[in-house]
Structure 1
Amino acid sequence: MAAELRRGPARRSEGIHVRLVYVLDTNDLRAEADFWCAVLGFEREEGEHQTYLALRDPGGRWPDLLLQKVPEAKAGKNRMHLDVVVPDVAAEIDRVRGLGAEVLRPTVEEDGHLLAVMADPEGNEFCVVQRLDGTPGE
């Protein structure tokens, strides 16, 4: 399997499309949706689902964030996380703290970036990042 992964990008037959969606486990769909919509500027895709709630970028540039209701609380460190890349890390930290985020690791300079490790209201980790070369975060 590892050798197959090193061969290069996957080849897809014409007509087969792949869409990347990030899924975040949560205990409270509505509260997490409020938080992440405010942080990312996404919109909820309302539906009849009791277990899932999709958040979409209204501009269609970024993958969806799908919230999945789970019974257990978060345990341990995230193996994958989101980086929120912004022009001003200090201002963004203040903004997301006002939305209910917590600073887990204060801002440090690392490899040409300023970054802080944060947690959303349920403890899911994410980073707030600023590129020091002034280029946008896209």
Structure 2
Amino acid sequence: MVTSYVSHTTVDCADAYALSRWWQAVLDYSENPDDPNEPGHEECMIYSRDGRHRLLFIEVPEVKQVKNRIHLDLRPVDGTRDAELARLTELGAAVVADRREADGTGWVVLADPEGNEFCILRSDAEIAGSRP
């Protein structure tokens, strides 16, 4: 049987270099040292530290017009959802919708500097700590 795997996730954008740098800071991703991303590049790829996930930013002439049909759900590696929310807004993310519940469940919908939505979830430690 023939199957496929996800080679990378592509994000259409106005400024591939700037947005790739922003997401590098958010995710602690890196770039290929043999093919570094530079200002003016129309395509910029960043890689997870283990190399298993890649994000490709491609410049397109159209501006974002509607809600994303696909998005990233982020879970903090260390710390809490709320601490990560503070870090991401300091980096320039905008809160689109706050879906946090009084019991600690839920998420926050954010937008990157070009308006692409993504969500921040509770950390694994927060989830584990909420179990009886």
| TM-score where L is the length of structure 2 | 0.79
Distance 1:134 1:79 in 2: 30
Instruction: Tell me if structure 2 keeps the 8 A contact 1:89–1:128.
Output: yes
Distance 1:18 1:76 in 2: 27
Instruction: Tell me if structure 1 keeps the 8 A contact 2:43–2:58.
Output: yes
Which residue of structure 2 lines up, in the alignment, with residue 99 of structure 1?
91
Which residue of structure 2 lines up, in the alignment, with residue 56 of structure 1?
47
Q: CA deviation at 1:108?
A: 1.6
1:38-68 CA-partner distances (Å, limit 9, x unpaired): 01010123268932111101222x4201111
Which residue of structure 2 lines up, in the alignment, with residue 120 of structure 1?
112
Tell me: CA distance 1:76–1:12, structure 2 relative to 1, closer, same or farther (3 Å).
Answer: same
Q: Residue type of the partner of 1:129?
A: L
Which residue of structure 2 lines up, in the alignment, with residue 23 of structure 1?
10
Which residue of structure 2 lines up, in the alignment, with residue 69 of structure 1?
59
Q: Is the aligned partner of 1:35 residue 2:22?
A: yes
Q: CA deviation at 1:30?
A: 1.7
Distance 2:120 2:37 in 1: 30
Where structure 2 has 5 or more consecutive residues not aligned to the other structure, the ranges are: none
Where structure 1 has 5 or more consecutive residues not aligned to the other structure, the ranges are: 1-10
Q: Is the aligned partner of 1:134 residue 2:132?
A: no
**Structure exhibiting the larger radius of gyration computed from Cα positions:** 1
Q: Percent identity?
A: 34
Larger proportion of strand: 1
> Which stretch has the larger CA shift, 93-102 or 51-60?
51-60
Q: How many residues align?
A: 120
Misfit runs of 4+, over 6 Å? none
